[in-house]
């Protein structure tokens, strides 16, 4: 199956993933690979106009990787993952959405 987008992990996501046990990390990466080829809101969901989240439920824990789209390259669409959390409540923390938005702004400023 053709991928709809590529995923780029920023440093903080890699550090988050490194801190998880192998099975949780592998499940997150497996779900991201699935989200690349299949449009599924349980795996990849829009939070606001700019920010999305990769969603993984594993071992009764909700893992979230925040992300945004970079369509500046006309050939390849990239989803940039900014940081990850283990979600502790039903509601996605507003501060994490704001953090992802700030990282996105810096990312595009640095690209100019």
pLDDT 10s digits, 58-81:
999 999 999 999 999 888 899 999
Nearest to residue 2, comparing CAs of 27, 30, 39? 39
Q: What is the helix (H) or strand (E) element at residue 13, kind and residue range?
A: helix 11-18
> What are the chain's domains?
6-111 (3.30.2310.20)
The upper half-sphere exposure of residue 73, i.e. CA atoms within 13 Å in the direction of its Cβ, equals: 11
Q: Does residue 16 surpass a pLDDT of 80?
A: yes
Nearest to residue 59, comparing CAs of 28, 84, 18? 28
Per-residue pLDDT at 73: 86
Instruction: Specify the pTM.
Output: 0.94
Alpha carbon dihedral 36, 66, 52, 89, in 10-degree steps, equals 120
């Amino acid at each position: 199956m053709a991928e709809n987008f590529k995923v780029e992990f920023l440093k903080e996501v890699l550090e988050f993933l490194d801190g998880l046990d192998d099975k949780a990390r592998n499940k997150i990466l497996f779900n991201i690979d699935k989200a690349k080829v299949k449009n599924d809101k349980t795996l990849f969901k829009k939070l606001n106009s700019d920010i999305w989240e990769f969603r993984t439920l594993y071992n009764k824990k909700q893992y979230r990787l925040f992300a945004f789209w970079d369509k500046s390259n006309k050939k390849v669409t990239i989803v940039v993952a900014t940081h990850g959390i283990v979600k502790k409540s039903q509601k996605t923390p507003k501060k994490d959405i704001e953090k992802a938005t700030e990282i996105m702004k810096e990312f595009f400023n640095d690209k100019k």
